[in-house]
Structure 1
Amino acid sequence: MEEEPLVEEETHAPALTVGERLQAARRAKGIELSQIAAETRIPQRHLVAIENSDYAQLPSRTYAIGFTRTYARVLELEERELLDQLRAELGDDRSRLNTAPARFEPGDPARVPSRKLAWFGALAAVLLLVGGFAFYRTYFAPGLGPAPLQEERAPVIAEVDRTPSTDGTPAIDPDVEVVFTSEMNDTWVKFYDASGERLYEAQMAQGESYTIPADAEGPQVWTGRPYALAITIDGRPVPKLSEEDEIVRDVPVTAEALLARSEPSATPGSDASTGDLTVN
């Protein structure tokens, strides 16, 4: 009876894990693990854990997959096939996973803000601060705005019809129009009569005008931008209340009072008829 020849059983080497394949590819290219960490911004301890298939050292399954994908790209390996194998490994051995809640890791390239995004955030913060400061200056402190960059011009005194009064002194036509026009945006101004009753109050836009009512008793003005208000009497310009960056308050704005301010001998605050110049 002939003996059958013995058939040698084929032995197959165990398949390499994902971590072992990454390690082998890295060594074949002569790359140190520290280089991979520097290029991918993944902590080196996490790369060691991946190569050792010790996924419990990683924050979560998501990190294991994300880090492995980035590692494979640096080594120019086929990502999809490696990730399929990794998912199979993670599914077969749940003990490899870290079940603790995920936390932010500086080395995770998917979660680290880009430099462009960081600059954008800083710029947005600066713009927010500037906008808030400008709003405060305009709304809560209207007199703190900068003086306008305008060329100084010599005041022009309006030629207003002065009807002689009964005592022989010139008088102003009571029907003459006094108009204030804002030359800047957001010019806060308040007009009120002698009793303190408000006639008009607003943040005037550039080009916006207000005409003093002819029947107003002792109209006065309060503003933080006297230099921004152009004044005309019966269509003719007169000097502004002030060319300085200051707050003026309780200044009479009748045609007679404004013309009195324009006289060479009249100076702000020198006579009760010209009103008080209050600087805060």
Structure 2
Amino acid sequence: MTEHEAEAVEELPLEGAGAQLRRAREDRGLDLDQVAAETRIPTRHLEVIERGAFNELPARTYAIGFSRTYAKMLGLDEKAIADQVRSELSEHDDTRAERGMSFEPGDPAKVPSSGLAWAGGFAAIILLVGSAVFYSTYYGIGEGPGPIEPDPEPALATNEQPSADREAPVAAGSDDTVVFTALEEGVWVKFYDANGVELLQKQMASGERFEIPSDAEGPQIWTGRPDAFAITIDGKSVPKLAEDDFVMRDVAISAEALLARADQTGDDTAVQNN
């Protein structure tokens, strides 16, 4: 950081990280679209950062990583900006905790009467029992509303034979090698197994590859750019996880799961063509 930039930061000790970044951008005569093109950070995320609303970003990692990249692009002290973002996120968490503890037991006006407390408890019990009866009657035993977006499960083998005009899909084996290759620069991603054990977390460079360990149990992915990764299984390409950028989390990426997604994509395409 230059001497002029250091003085600018010192003159504004109460200014948040987002405001510092916005001021530095405006001093350089840049607009958000130019910054987005340079940093590969979506414009909507840059707007959130400059407002200081870091808690609105998909994850804490995004808030700190994007702010660090933004600061580096502007020539600011990226470590100082990242530390300030962490501090602002912690302050936001503390504020939420304080709001949850705003009840004052010592104030008689705020303490509910014993009669009201008993009535409320009795009503809650009736509501719970009624809900349980309705749920079991309406949905049936062992059933319930399904997940909003279930992870694809490995296809189960059946005795059904493939038709003559449709080639049977290649079954995935236990030794299949799954490789993810970043197609753009600075794509953040986290790979982990079914137990939450981290396999890799970083901003991958364009062309950088990561091979899913063969002994990883139920490998999954978390990224905001599922469209920025090419995927191969034993050297053969399979469809991307998505064609657009959005936050994708807890999505299975074993060979079986990826082949199941590919089969589903093929079925959807066939239906559209018909």
User: Do the structures match in fold with TM over 0.5?
Assistant: no
TM-score by length of 1: 0.38
Whichever structure has more helix as a proportion of its residues is 2
TM-score by length of 2: 0.39
Structure with larger Rg: 1
